Amino acid sequence: MQNNSETSTQQEKENSKETNVPSKLTSKRKYLVGPIAFLHLLGYAIYSSTIFLYYPYNIGKTLFVNLTVENEKSAVCGSNTNTTGEENGKQIQTEVATFLTYIALVEGIPCIFSNLLFGSLGDRFGRRKLLLIPVLGVMLAEGLIIAFMYFGVTLYYFLIPLMIHGFSGEAFAMIQFTLAYASNITKTNKQRTIGMAIMEICIGMGLLLGSVVAGYIIREETIAIVGAISGTISLVAEGLTNSTVLLFLTPVIGFGISLGIVMTRVIMSREISPEQQGALFGGMSAFQTACTFFGSLMFSAIYRGTIYVFKGTIFLLMAGMFFISLILTITILLEKKSKEKTYNLQGKTISIKLK
Examine residue 306 and state whether it is found in any structural domain, yes or no: yes
231-253 pLDDT, tens digit each: 888 888 888 877 776 777 777 77
The number of residues in the chain equals 355
Separation of CA 181 from chain center: 17
pLDDT value at 33 more than 50 = yes
How far is the C-alpha of 111 from the C-alpha of 291, rounded, in Å? 12
Task: Name the percent of the chain lying above pLDDT 90.
Answer: 4
Task: From residue 32, give the alpha-carbon distance in Å to each of 38, 144, 199, 286.
Answer: 10, 28, 11, 25
Alpha-carbon span 288 to 179, nearest angstrom:
14
Determine the average pLDDT of the residues in 258-263: 71
Reduce the DSSP state of residue 185 to 3 states and report it. coil
Q: Is there a domain that residue 270 lies in?
A: yes
Distance of CA 280 to the CA centre of its chain: 15
Spatial separation of the C-alpha atoms in residues 262 and 275, rounded to whole Å = 21
Closest CA to 170 of 129, 228, 112, 223: 112
Out of 124-138, 169-183, 192-206, 274-288, least confident range:
192-206
| Cα distances (angstroms) measured from residue 36 to each of 103, 210, 249 | 27, 20, 30
**pLDDT at 261 > cutoff 80:** no
Instruction: Kindly report which listed range (49-63, 182-196, 300-314) carries the lowest average pLDDT score.
Output: 182-196
CB distance 204 to 42 below 8 Å: yes
Q: Determine which helix (DSSP H) or strand (DSSP E) holds 152, and give its type and residue range.
A: none
> Stretch 330-342: mean pLDDT, rounded?
70
In a domain, 335, yes or no: yes
- Which structural domain, as residue segments, surrounds residue 336? 31-341
pLDDT at 308 over 80: yes
pLDDT of residue 123: 76
In a domain, 18, yes or no: no
Collapsing DSSP to helix, strand or coil, 348 comes out as strand
- Report the pLDDT value the prediction gives residue 181, as an integer from 0 to 100: 79
Cα–Cα distances (Å) from 339 to 222, 270, 333, in that order, read 17, 19, 10
Q: What is the tally of structural domains in the chain?
A: 1
How far apart are the two ends of the chain, measured CA to CA in Å? 38
Give yes or no for residue 71 having a pLDDT over 50: no
Supply the pLDDT for residue 163.
92
C-alpha 279, offset from chain centre: 17
Give me the chain's average pLDDT, please: 73
Q: How far apart are alpha carbons 120 and 282 in whole angstroms?
A: 7
Where does residue 347 fall: left (phi above 0), alpha (psi -120 to 50 degrees), or beta otherwise? left
Question: Residue 160 has what pLDDT?
Answer: 92
Confidence check: pLDDT of 316 > 80? yes
- The CATH code of the domain that includes 152 is 1.20.1250
19 within some domain: no
Asked if residue 238 belongs to a domain, the reply is yes
Is residue 352 assigned to a domain?
no
Q: So what's the pLDDT on residue 209?
A: 43
For the segment 8-16, the average pLDDT, to the nearest whole number, is 50
- The answer to the question of residue 12 being in a domain is no
More confident residue, 12 or 17: 12
CA 170 to chain centroid, in Å, comes to 10
